[in-house]
Structure 1
Amino acid sequence: MFDNISWGKKRRLSQIVKGDGRALMLAIDHGYFMGPTTGMEVPSKAIEKLLPYTDSLMLSPGVLTSSIDPDFGKGCVLRASGGNTILDKDIDDEGLILTAEEAVRLNASAVAVSIFVGAEHSHQTILNLSTMISDAARFDLPVLGVTAVGKALKDKKEKRYLAHASRIAAELGADIVKTYYCDGFEEVVTKTPVPIVVAGGPKLDTYEDVLTLCYRSIQEGAIGVDMGRNIWQSEYPSAIIQGVQKIIHENFSVKQALEYTNDLCNEETKRVELFKVTARDIEDSKLH
């Protein structure tokens, strides 16, 4: 899968993509533009029971240093682009917020940069990715290219757009592309010459929907998923992440994984709400 690269880069990638060629990433980087997102108000508490079942975390540098124990034993993909929030008209006016050298000092497995292809600041975000790829090459640091979709582009989660954006990220030199699942997803994978992980996106209605997304993504060519709100905003976070893990690493069917998940739904796996969730919180969580 990752041929003709240095041992150092392979070593870092092995912290994200396991020996079976699959990856289960837990995305907890939403706060860099959404603030204290519902379910992730206290990151260390939110992920406490989830870490055993994930391969790597996708997170911001500040949450890594403030909320994650140095010996947590998982890969970490650091958010390297940012600069706007959900309070702004759109979030595509991003710059780089982290250098490759800083990421290496934090012992990152990889860095992630978003590109907003077709948005107002498309050119700028594509150059952000290109700049980071050049910078990261000096340290054999893998780069994850994220095909982000801002408010103005939320109708673009379809095959033609996602294949276009994913191919651009790969052409620039991204080692892995993170994109959305869509109808005809196999074509997106075929047209992207680097491995793809699928974004979980906004919270889905049922566990079956979450597991179906994971199953279809793997069956149609993705190497894994990067799940966030569909895990830590769920009623039973550690139950659903274990169901996802079974699909990613043990080839469970949706039916098998759903039965496994439902069997785990109990007080031990139930999410503890630290703060009262308001209707506005729920609406904000659906913005992206």
Structure 2
Amino acid sequence: MADKDGILESKEFGIGIPQETKGFYVKGGNHYSWGMKSRLNKIFNPKTGKSLMLAFDHGYFLGPTSGLERLDLNIPPLVDHIDCFMGTRGGMMSCIDPALTGNKAIALRVSSGSSILNDDLSDEIISVDIAEAIRMNADLMATQVFIGAPHQKESIDNLSKVINTGNAYGVPTMGVVAVGKEMERTAKYFRLSTRIIAEVGAQVVKCYYCDDFDSVIASCPVPIVIAGGKKIPERDALEMCSNSILMGAAGVDMGRNIFQSEDPLAMVQAVRAIVHEGIDHKEAFDMFNELKAK
């Protein structure tokens, strides 16, 4: 007989059995393996279903980006307010104390091969294998995907290899929609790119915010987190973040709009409040200014 909480009580075993088992809260994840769900549960907050990732992997093709000249000094003060590190193997191993990671998830950049000096950024390789990802306790492997670029096929091949090995060991993959210097940033393009990445088998997709973003979310069967992109004024970055969450994004992977902010610590807290508390961008901007004043 069910008690008032909807639990079946078993006299024989003395345990409660839920009458209904809810689906896994991460979009598209109902049929994943136990290990895959465990890692996704670390990335996406179970209470909100959202994630705030801190991207600081820019050096893999940009070099010492402004605000990231010293990873060991710039990143640690922000850690308490994020859910997930998004970094490279070298950046994590050389500059981030493992004690800092605690219960934070790790998204590990596993693709490389291009630089800001190249006209074509789409010619990449997989530079970190699954064994290394597991040694680093990664919860997510991230690889760039260049839909419509000269090396589209090779980037999808890279994505496929990462997904195949990740699935074998229960480590999810995030396909990152790349927008090169000449590539469009429209809902039509992002619907195409995110759907291809999801159909190949990625468990998470990262792309940019755009007009009609809700149509991008609706057509992608797995969670989408938005990229922060280039530095823009704090008010605009917070509005972009708020709009993306309202339209169904599962989180943000923000870098330059946090660590290049006038006050990175105030900015990361304002972004977190949007992602996990649902405040609007005006409240978040007021919060940013109040924290900055302190």
TM-score where L is the length of structure 1? 0.90
Partner secondary structure for residue 39 of structure 2: helix
Partners of 1:209 and 1:90 lie apart in 2 by: 29
Aligned to 2:229: 201
Aligned to 1:168: 196
Does residue 90 in structure 1 map to residue 112 in structure 2?
Answer: no
Does the 8 Å CA contact 2:76/2:96 hold for their aligned counterparts?
no
Does residue 28 in structure 1 map to residue 68 in structure 2?
Answer: no
Deviations 1:125-170 (A, max 9, x none): 01110111011111100000100111232xx111110110000000
Give the ranges of 4+ consecutive aligned residues of structure 1 lying more than 4 Å apart after TM superposition: none
Aligned to 1:240: 267
Query: Which of 166, 173, 180 is the aligned partner of 2:208?
Result: 180
One-letter amino acid of the counterpart of residue 241, structure 1: V
Aligned to 2:85: 57
Q: CA RMSD in A?
A: 1.0
Structure 1: tracts of 5 or more residues without a match: 269-288
Structure 2: tracts of 5 or more residues without a match: 1-25
Does the 8 Å CA contact 1:101/1:139 hold for their aligned counterparts?
no
One-letter amino acid of the counterpart of residue 94, structure 1: E
Does residue 113 in structure 1 map to residue 146 in structure 2?
Answer: no
Does residue 216 in structure 1 map to residue 216 in structure 2?
Answer: no
Pairing of 1:271-286 with structure 2 (within 5 A)? none
- CA drift of 1:70 comes to 1.1
Partners of 2:51 and 2:250 lie apart in 1 by: 6
- CA drift of 1:120 comes to 0.7
Deviations 1:146-205 (A, max 9, x none): 00111232xx1111101100000000000000001110000001110001000001111x
Does residue 70 in structure 1 map to residue 86 in structure 2?
Answer: no
Partner secondary structure for residue 179 of structure 2: coil
Does residue 258 in structure 1 map to residue 285 in structure 2?
Answer: yes
Does the 8 Å CA contact 2:53/2:252 hold for their aligned counterparts?
yes
TM-score where L is the length of structure 2? 0.88
- CA drift of 1:95 comes to 0.9
Does the 8 Å CA contact 1:178/1:199 hold for their aligned counterparts?
yes
Partners of 2:283 and 2:174 lie apart in 1 by: 31
Partners of 2:255 and 2:193 lie apart in 1 by: 21
Percent same amino acid at aligned positions?
Answer: 44
One-letter amino acid of the counterpart of residue 265, structure 1: K
Partner secondary structure for residue 221 of structure 2: coil
Aligned to 2:71: 43
Query: Which of 81, 85, 90 is the aligned partner of 2:111?
Result: 81
Pairing of 1:144-159 with structure 2 (within 5 A)? 144-153=174-183, 156-159=184-187
Does the 8 Å CA contact 1:44/1:67 hold for their aligned counterparts?
yes
- CA drift of 1:90 comes to 2.1
One-letter amino acid of the counterpart of residue 145, structure 1: G
One-letter amino acid of the counterpart of residue 120, structure 1: P
Does residue 13 in structure 1 map to residue 34 in structure 2?
Answer: no
The count of aligned residue pairs is: 264
Aligned to 1:122: 152
Does the 8 Å CA contact 2:54/2:82 hold for their aligned counterparts?
yes
Asked which structure has the greater CA Rg, the reply is 2
Partners of 1:170 and 1:101 lie apart in 2 by: 24
One-letter amino acid of the counterpart of residue 236, structure 1: D
Deviates more, 1:252-261 or 1:218-227: 252-261
- CA drift of 1:67 comes to 0.8
Does the 8 Å CA contact 1:119/1:152 hold for their aligned counterparts?
no
